[in-house]
């Protein structure tokens, strides 16, 4: 008993706890995969299914990394799906009318439009001192409405898009689809930035204790504006990915995607109070969401029950998270008594 | 953290500007008047037509029922994103029970029971796991409740509720010129307003929203109050589901989508901060009727719903920034 407590005491550092949390999530995921593989009669882990999974959920994954940054500074952004639709629609329309002739320019323009949206949201939150949930709720209405206004509620269909642009989402490099490359590269960037750059550490500082961060000389407003701008840019990038993947741009696209994205972050152990969570967790979270969504039909669960099950899984994930945390805290306290 | 810093700002403001509540409502009332004037000048012959006006208002009353419990929840510093899913599930149950038993009373009872149980589940989860953010839990239960409804209904609808005349008249019937639903809405507004501002329970809600820990040390059963309020919200979702069925007569799994955000938007515009402990029900009511009339008036001149949403969103963001701008102007003056 004492030996166990001693090891626990050693491992009581925050880093250890966080790392173990990701390992437990990974274990759950592996278990999930094994069960699915067994129940689906080996039809899950085939290159075809995995590729499809990566293509379908690449945009969710990309959005998750943006949301991770926002949640880390203690904010929230429920307008990302609207930003995605607006920048995807705007760039598609520019392509439709022949202003953009290079598929990479479409991606770039879409990202820049998203950056603009994010910048405005960041300014309202930081300089206007509006609570993030309220500001982004407002912008959810505004940006989605503007999408309908600029498109006049019409679609941009695949034959009006550049063939190279729609082909982009189908092609792959080294056996991995381009869309998956985008989120993998973004994952590495976010991971590195959060861990080893001043900006990354400042994000954690603002999220853990804004007052303390301010006193220690961090320009909180600047960090907030930057983070919301980055998040907007990522949503814009996701907009181009979405339109490329589905080869059409509609005003109501990706409605409700923000909920999936927040759920992915929460499953990945990102706290909504800020300052807690990392890129690995977010990646695992979004993979879990993707696997659940994809696999239910493979194991013979009626497609209509998928949403309900998703809700249960999110609840279980957060409840287990709390129980583990409580247990850890108790053990740490016990260790201190001795 | 965000809520925390939001609260500090609210504090400073309260001290410097004095009675903010009064000011907030006067700003709101000005906006309300402005909306009316704009609407009137856009369609002078149609806007103040009583029957048009009442019918236009009626459109928003069903989702408006959610505003009352949402005001309470926001006042506590919590949030409930599951009301849309809850209304959807309750309405589904109403339709199914009615179609199975042939009794609309049984259907209503089942719907209200379902709504209350769903609310209770939210409350229990949040009070048993106090570490969890309400946003996460209710986000998940929203997916869950709507998901159950989707699982039951698939891509079909449950129908036939409008066959019962008196049930249909809950939404369509009127007493003199005024719709029943408007009367019920106003009565509910008075009841909820009195509970919020004139009872011990109401004061306790303000205390909890202002500072949970202080309220706890003052002997207020914080978790009990949260449980009651979330269950009450569930109950109101059941009631809303009843009116929803009376209005549409059929329920699909996308019923009541977005009710949660609409209600939050009204409350925030009405001065009820999502940080908790601040706001009034009359404020929320002014905001509700402002938005309802805005929708009705702009609808008269054939402005699309999506553009109206842009205006509502902009109104929300701009109005919420007013106190900050006031502070800035004040600081500027002091410097001079």
**B109 within a domain of the structure (yes/no):** yes
Could you say which of B5, B307, B314 has the minimum Cβ distance to residue A149?
B307
Whether residue B324 and residue A129 make contact (CB cut-off 8 A), yes or no, is yes
**A120 within a domain of the structure (yes/no):** yes
Q: For position B185, which CATH number holds? A: 1.10.3470
| Minimum CA–CA partner of B133 in chain A | A272
**B336 within a domain of the structure (yes/no):** no
Going by C-alpha positions, the residue among A190, A166, A192 that lies closest to residue A179 is: A166
**A2 within a domain of the structure (yes/no):** no
Q: Is the pLDDT of residue A116 over 90?
A: yes
**Number of structural domains chain B divides into:** 1
Q: Chain-wide mean pLDDT for chain A? A: 82
Q: For position A297, which CATH number holds? A: 1.10.3470.10
Element (H, E) at B159: strand B158-159
Structure tokens at A175: 């056996």
Q: Tokens 């946003």 identify what position? A: B135
Going by C-alpha positions, the residue among A160, A154, A174, A177 that lies closest to residue A51 is: A177
Structure tokens at B295: 């929708």
> Tell me, what's the ipTM?
0.76
**CB contacts, 8 Å: A128 with chain B:** 317, 320-321, 324
Q: Does A189 touch chain B (CB under 8 A)?
A: no
Q: What pLDDT is stored for residue B118 in this prediction?
A: 94
How far apart (Å, rounded) are the C-alpha atoms in residues A183 and B168? 52
A133-183 pLDDT tens trace: 888 888 988 898 889 888 877 788 777 777 777 777 777 778 778 888 888
Q: What pLDDT is stored for residue A5 in this prediction?
A: 43
**CB contacts, 8 Å: B320 with chain A:** 128, 130-131, 134-135, 138
B180: containing domain:
2-330
Q: Does B82 touch chain A (CB under 8 A)?
A: no
Shortest Cα distance from B248 to chain A (angstroms)?
23
**CB contacts, 8 Å: A127 with chain B:** 324
Whether residue B313 and residue A138 make contact (CB cut-off 8 A), yes or no, is yes
Interface contacts (A, B; CB < 8 Å): 167
Q: Which residue has the higher pLDDT, A337 or A26?
A: A26
Whether residue A132 and residue B2 make contact (CB cut-off 8 A), yes or no, is yes
Q: What pLDDT is stored for residue B244 in this prediction?
A: 92
DSSP string across B5-48: HHHHHHHHHHHHHS-HHHHHHHHHHHHHHHHHHHHHHHSTTTTT
**B185 within a domain of the structure (yes/no):** yes
Distance spanning both ends of chain B, measured CA to CA: 34
Q: How does residue A18 score in pLDDT terms, banded at 50, 70 and 90?
A: low
A244-289 pLDDT tens trace: 888 888 888 887 788 888 888 888 888 777 788 888 888 988 888 8
**A6 within a domain of the structure (yes/no):** no
Q: Which residue has the higher pLDDT, A10 or B230?
A: B230
**CB contacts, 8 Å: A265 with chain B:** none
- DSSP-derived letter for residue B273 is -
Measured CA to CA in angstroms, residue A200 lies from A165, A197, B197 at distances of 33, 5, 45
**B88 within a domain of the structure (yes/no):** yes
| Minimum CA–CA partner of A70 in chain B | B2
Residues 6+ apart with CB under 8 A from A247: A157, A158, A161, A166, A169
Measured CA to CA in angstroms, residue B17 lies from A95, A129, B10 at distances of 51, 16, 10
Burial grade of B185 (CB within 10 A; 0-12, 13-18, 19 or more): buried
Query: H-type helices in chain A, by residue range?
Result: 2-10, 14-39, 47-72, 80-96, 103-126, 132-151, 163-168, 178-196, 198-208, 210-215, 220-246, 257-267, 279-298, 306-337
Measured CA to CA in angstroms, residue A330 lies from A7, A16, A188, B130 at distances of 14, 16, 35, 16
Q: Say if residues A136 and A76 touch (Cβ distance below 8 Å).
A: yes
Q: How many Cα atoms occupy the beta-carbon half-sphere of B227 within 13 Å?
A: 12
Measured CA to CA in angstroms, residue B90 lies from B68, B242, B245 at distances of 18, 8, 10
How far apart (Å, rounded) are the C-alpha atoms in residues B37 and B31? 10
**pTM, entire model:** 0.81
Q: What pLDDT is stored for residue B307 in this prediction?
A: 83
**A133 within a domain of the structure (yes/no):** yes
* A131-167 burial: b if 16+ Cβ within 10 Å, else e: bbbbbbbbbbbbbbbbbbeebeeeebeeeebbeebbe
Q: Say if residues A199 and A218 touch (Cβ distance below 8 Å).
A: no
A104: containing domain:
15-337
Q: Does B186 touch chain A (CB under 8 A)?
A: no
Sign, Cα dihedral of B151, B152, B158, B161: negative
A29-70 pLDDT tens trace: 788 788 877 877 777 777 777 888 888 888 899 999 999 999
| Minimum CA–CA partner of A320 in chain B | B129
Shortest Cα distance from A42 to chain B (angstroms)?
26
Q: What pLDDT is stored for residue B194 in this prediction?
A: 93
Residues in chain B: 336
Each residue's pLDDT, cut to its tens digit, for chain B (336 residues) gives 444 444 444 444 444 445 555 567 777 777 888 877 887 777 777 777 778 888 888 888 888 999 999 999 999 989 898 999 999 999 999 999 998 888 888 989 999 999 999 999 999 999 988 888 888 888 889 889 998 998 888 888 888 887 878 888 888 888 877 888 899 999 999 999 999 999 999 999 999 998 888 988 988 889 999 999 999 999 999 999 999 998 888 888 888 887 888 898 899 888 887 788 888 898 899 889 888 888 888 877 777 778 888 888 888 888 778 777 777 888 888 877
Burial grade of B289 (CB within 10 A; 0-12, 13-18, 19 or more): middle
Q: Does A297 touch chain B (CB under 8 A)?
A: no
**Number of structural domains chain A divides into:** 1
Whether residue B9 and residue A129 make contact (CB cut-off 8 A), yes or no, is yes
3-state secondary structure (DSSP) of residue B178: strand
3-state secondary structure (DSSP) of residue B329: helix
Q: What pLDDT is stored for residue A338 in this prediction?
A: 61
Q: Is the pLDDT of residue A225 over 90?
A: yes
Give the pairing of strands B174-175 and A172-173. unpaired
**B335 within a domain of the structure (yes/no):** no
Element (H, E) at A271: none
3-state secondary structure (DSSP) of residue A156: strand
Residues 6+ apart with CB under 8 A from B104: B98, B161, B164, B167
**A249 within a domain of the structure (yes/no):** yes
Q: How does residue A19 score in pLDDT terms, banded at 50, 70 and 90?
A: low
Q: What pLDDT is stored for residue A13 in this prediction?
A: 55
Residues 6+ apart with CB under 8 A from B89: B114, B115, B118, B145, B146, B148, B149
């Amino acid at each position: 008993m004492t030996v166990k407590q001693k090891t626990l005491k050693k491992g009581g550092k925050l880093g250890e706890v966080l790392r173990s949390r990701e390992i437990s999530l990974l274990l759950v995921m592996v278990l999930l995969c094994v069960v699915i593989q067994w129940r689906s009669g080996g039809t899950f882990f085939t290159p075809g299914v995995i590729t499809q999974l990566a293509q379908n959920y690449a945009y969710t994954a990309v959005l998750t990394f943006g949301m991770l940054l926002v949640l880390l500074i203690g904010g929230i952004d429920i307008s990302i799906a609207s930003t995605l639709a607006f920048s995807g629609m705007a760039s598609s329309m520019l392509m439709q009318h022949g202003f953009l002739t290079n598929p990479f320019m479409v991606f770039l323009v879409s990202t820049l439009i998203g950056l603009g949206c994010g910048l405005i949201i960041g300014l309202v939150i930081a300089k206007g001192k509006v609570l993030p949930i309220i500001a982004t709720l407002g912008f959810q209405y505004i940006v989605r409405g503007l999408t309908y206004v600029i498109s006049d509620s019409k679609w941009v269909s695949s034959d009006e898009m550049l063939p190279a642009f729609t082909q982009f989402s189908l092609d792959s490099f080294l056996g991995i689809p381009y869309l998956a490359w985008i989120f993998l590269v973004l994952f590495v960037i976010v991971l590195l930035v959060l861990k080893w750059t001043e900006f990354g550490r400042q994000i954690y500082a603002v999220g853990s204790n804004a007052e303390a961060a301010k006193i220690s000389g961090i320009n909180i407003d600047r960090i907030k504006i930057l983070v919301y701008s980055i998040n907007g840019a990522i949503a814009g990038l996701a907009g181009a990915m979405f339109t490329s993947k589905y080869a059409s741009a509609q005003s109501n696209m990706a409605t409700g995607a923000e909920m999936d994205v927040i759920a992915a972050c929460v499953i990945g152990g990102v706290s909504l109070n800020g300052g807690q969570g990392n890129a690995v967790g977010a990646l695992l979270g979004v993979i879990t969401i993707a696997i659940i969504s994809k696999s239910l039909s493979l194991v013979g669960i009626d497609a209509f029950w998928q949403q309900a099950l998703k809700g249960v899984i999110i609840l279980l994930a957060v409840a287990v998270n709390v129980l583990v945390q409580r247990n850890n805290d108790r053990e740490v306290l016990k260790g201190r008594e001795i | 953290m965000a809520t925390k810093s939001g609260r500090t700002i609210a504090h400073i403001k309260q001290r410097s500007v004095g009675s903010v509540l009064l000011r907030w409502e006067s700003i709101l009332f000005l906006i309300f008047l402005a909306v009316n004037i704009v609407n009137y000048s856009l369609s002078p012959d149609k806007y103040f037509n009583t029957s048009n006006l009442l019918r236009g208002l009626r459109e928003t009353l069903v989702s408006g029922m959610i505003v009352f419990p949402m005001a309470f929840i926001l006042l506590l510093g919590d949030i409930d994103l599951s009301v849309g899913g809850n209304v959807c599930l309750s309405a589904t149950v109403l339709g199914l029970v009615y179609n199975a038993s042939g009794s609309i009373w049984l259907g209503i009872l089942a719907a209200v029971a379902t709504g209350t149980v769903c609310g209770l589940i939210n409350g229990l989860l949040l009070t048993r796991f106090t570490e969890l953010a309400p946003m996460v839990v209710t986000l998940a239960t929203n997916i869950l409740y709507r998901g159950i409804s989707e699982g039951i209904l698939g891509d079909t609808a449950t129908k036939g509720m409008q066959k019962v005349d008196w049930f249909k008249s809950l939404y369509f019937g009127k007493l003199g010129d005024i719709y029943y639903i408007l009367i019920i809405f106003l009565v509910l507004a008075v009841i909820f307003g009195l509970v919020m501002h004139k009872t011990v329970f109401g004061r306790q809600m303000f205390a909890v929203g202002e500072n949970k820990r202080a309220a706890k040390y003052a002997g207020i059963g914080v978790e009990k109050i949260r449980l009651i309020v979330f269950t009450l919200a569930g109950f109101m979702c059941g009631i809303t589901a009843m009116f929803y069925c009376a209005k549409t007569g059929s329920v699909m799994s996308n019923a009541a989508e977005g009710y949660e955000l609409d209600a939050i938007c009204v409350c925030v515009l009405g001065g009820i901060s999502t940080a908790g402990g601040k706001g009034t029900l009359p404020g929320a009511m002014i905001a509700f009727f402002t938005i309802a009339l805005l929708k009705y008036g702009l609808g008269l001149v054939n402005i699309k719903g999506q553009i109206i949403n842009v205006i509502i969103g902009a109104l929300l963001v701009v109005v919420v920034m007013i106190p900050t701008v006031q502070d800035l102007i004040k600081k500027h003056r002091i410097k001079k």
